[in-house]
Amino acid sequence: MRRRRVRAEAAEPSGSPRFPVPLPSRLDGRVTGRTLVLMRWIAVWGQLTSLGVTTLGLHISMPVAPVLATIGASVLLNLVVMAQRSFQLRLTDQDATFYLAFDTLQLTLLLYLNGGMDNPFTILLLAPLTVGAAILSVHNVVLLTVLNQLCLTVIARWHCPLPWTGARFQLPPLYSLGVWGGLSMASIMLACYVFRVAHESRRITDALAASQLALAREQRLSALGGLAAAAAHELGTPLGTIAVVASELARDIPADSPIADDIALLKSQSRRCREILAELSRKPEADGGPPFERLPLTALLEAAARPHRTTPATLSITAQPADGTPGPMVRRSPEIIHGVGNLIQNALQFAERAVEVVAAWDGESVELTITDDGPGFSSHVLGRLGEPYISVRSDRSGHMGLGIFIAETLLSRTGASVGFGNHQGGGARVTIRWPRDALESET
């Protein structure tokens, strides 16, 4: 039985110029020094306000000098950072981790001086960890989470008494243990949840950026064909005039004249230029006409598949219309050209011998089915196709799902729905379905 391979990506079309596809986001530069400094100023203001309300408003005795010294450390760090020229630049992952670790330790020291786990402001220790989980790499999030756990454990075991009026305030040991456990679990769960959500958001953002680049590239290629035809048309008249003048000069100049050879060269080169312009004029028509001219669906499929007919596998495109139903006329849409072309190339990349594209339509809908005789989609990847950066690599390539995401995103903009599956006997099947009205009215 043939070994089944994992296929997870529609690769970049080989017949077109490549464009820069974003890789999964590097986390360097996710936050600026200005942002963390502003957050620290807010924290300093809150700490000073709490100190003033507690000592002056509630007349509770506190270790004012150590507390002010601890708050002053944050003020000093902010001033040092603001004095640097890189203050407004984006921070590296390591620098952001250092600043958030400092905030965690500074807050831990304040809590140590003021009751430790008995202090109701202990929950603020989760703030630097939450920010870090949103902007840091998994390695640094783990380090920050471990530091947070150590700080919670230290202030739960060792701390100065909570400043209190009257009798000394002390929670029962079992309740303090529960508070420590609750905050420890909350920090771990919060770090995992925020990191996962931020990671998914970055992946989708990168993949959508790649989709926009792919669409822009296809639009530039379509516009380039029209521009070439227009240039050929405009240049034809002056070039024809040059050819006429050169012919008249050739008749008037004697054959033994020293400039006769130059005139003959001028005539031959003008003919060559007209041949080139004529070829440029024919190319847009060969690709299906000007960018906004409507053409039959099968002709559009041929245009989408033409750059990929370089593989050993054969590619056939057939039509299966309903009885008496005329075929749809479709605009030469860059979304359809690039989306369908990406899926066709993916099928050709994994096919053993043949790929078949079948276009079927009736009065209500239009359906394309792309099938190949390759290994098919792996069962554990099949349910995730359409997600960007699938973390299972193909045996044949290092691609990771971005091409299929781009194809599905572009086709969905034209009103299509895309489905993926396998044949019982092997091979992959991709089905693209449009409401006919939406496809024929797509702009």
Tens-place pLDDT, residues 360-385: 998 888 999 999 988 888 877 777 77
- Listed ranges 156-160, 220-224, 268-272, 310-314; the one with the highest mean pLDDT: 156-160
What residues form DSSP beta bridges with 365? 435
The mean pLDDT value for 387-401 works out to: 50
For the chain, percent of residues with pLDDT exceeding 90: 21
Question: Percent of the chain beyond pLDDT 70?
Answer: 77
- What is the DSSP annotation of 120-135? GGGGGGHHHHHHHHHH
pLDDT at 214 over 70: no
User: What class has domain 294-440?
Assistant: alpha beta
Residue whose structure tokens are 């091409």: 403
pLDDT of residue 12: 42
Q: Report the pLDDT value the prediction gives residue 230, as an integer from 0 to 100.
A: 64
Task: Compute the distance between CA of residue 127 and CA of residue 187 in angstroms, rounded to an integer.
Answer: 9
pLDDT greater than 80 at residue 62: yes
Nearest to 102 by CA among 152, 151, 31: 151
| Distance in angstroms (rounded) separating the CA atoms of residues 403 and 211 | 9
pLDDT of residue 395: 43
Longest pairwise C-alpha distance within the chain: 125
User: Which pLDDT score is estimated for 23?
Assistant: 42
| Radius of gyration for the chain, computed over Cα atoms and rounded to the nearest angstrom | 34
Q: Are 28 and 19 in contact (CB under 8 A)?
A: no
Which pLDDT value is given to residue 40?
92
Query: What are the extents of the domains in the chain?
Result: 33-213, 218-286, 294-440
* 37-42 long-range Cβ contacts below 8 angstroms, 24+ apart: 37/78, 37/81, 37/82, 37/87, 39/103, 39/131, 40/74, 40/77, 40/78, 40/99, 40/103, 41/78
SS3 19: coil
Between residues 25 and 402, the one the model is more confident about: 402
pLDDT of residue 73 exceeding 90: yes
Whether 260 shows a pLDDT value over 50: the answer reads: yes
pLDDT in tens, 236-256: 778 778 878 888 888 888 877
Measured at the CA of 52, the angle between CA 159 and CA 167, to 5 degrees, comes to: 50
Beta strands across the sheet bearing 365-372: 314-321, 354-361, 365-372, 428-435, 417-422
Write down the pLDDT at residue 273.
79
Q: Which residue has the higher pLDDT, 19 or 97?
A: 97
Residue 257 has pLDDT above 90, yes or no: no
Two tokens at 397? Answer: 């390539």
The answer to whether the Cα torsion of 96, 99, 101, 104 is positive or negative is negative
> Has residue 69 got a pLDDT over 50?
yes
Q: What is the pLDDT of residue 219?
A: 62
Confidence label for 299 from pLDDT (cuts 50, 70 and 90): confident
Give the three-state DSSP class for 318.
strand
Determine the pLDDT at residue 292: 44
Whether 164 has a pLDDT exceeding 60, the answer reads yes
Q: Which of 1, 8, 12 is nearest to 382 (CA)?
A: 8
pLDDT of residue 17: 37
pLDDT value at residue 28? 57
More confident residue, 382 or 146: 146
Q: How many C-alpha atoms does 299 have within 13 Å on its Cβ side? A: 17
How far apart CA 346 and CA 2 sit, in angstroms, is 19
What pLDDT shows up at residue 71?
93
Give, in order, the Cα–Cα distances in Å from 109 to each of 65, 90, 125, 171, 440. 13, 28, 11, 20, 68
pLDDT of 89 over the 50 cut = yes
DSSP conformational letter for 415: T
- What's residue 229's pLDDT? 61
Given a cut of 50, is residue 286 above it in pLDDT? Answer: no
Instruction: Report the pLDDT value the prediction gives residue 390, as an integer from 0 to 100.
Output: 59
